[in-house]
Amino acid sequence: MSNSGNKRSVISIRRAYEEPSEQDGYRILVDRLWPRGRSKESLKLDQWARELAPSDELRKWFGHDPQRWEVFQQRYRSELAEAEKVQQMQLLLADAAGRPMTLVYGAKDEQHNQAVVLREVMSKLRPG
């Protein structure tokens, strides 16, 4: 898990297959599909924001191929720039009420996944 060390509340990312931590704060699943083999209780989620996950078309095209990472980021940022998605991200930030926030994802690749991009986009929206 990685996060920034500044004074405003942190947005972290964590794989769905890692145990939740007290420091996670407000936990949001950001996958379109439920993580295989994980129960609702084990994930300890506050919300499931499946609408913020990449579109099915983009997710299937990307296929977690690191060679497609740069283009994936550009396309995903374009999806996240839609007014409806910006509003949803702002609502999630408001719901977290300044607490630490953890974006939970299921991908095996910890560097090339949508939570990495979403954290960066949401960090720019977060007041502070």
pLDDT, tens only, 95-126: 998 899 999 999 999 999 999 999 999 999 87
pTM of the model: 0.90
pLDDT at 98: 86
- Give the whole-angstrom CA distance, residue 84 versus residue 61: 23
Q: Is the pLDDT of residue 59 over 90?
A: yes
Backbone angles phi, psi at 45, to 5 degrees: -90, 150
How high does pLDDT run on average in the chain?
91
Containing 83, the helix (H) or strand (E) segment is helix 83-96
Is the CB of residue 30 less than 8 Å from the CB of residue 107?
no
Residues 6+ apart with CB under 8 A from 101: 9, 10, 11, 12, 25, 26, 27, 28, 92, 93, 122
pLDDT at 128: 57
Residues 6+ apart with CB under 8 A from 16: 29, 31, 35, 38, 43, 104, 105, 106
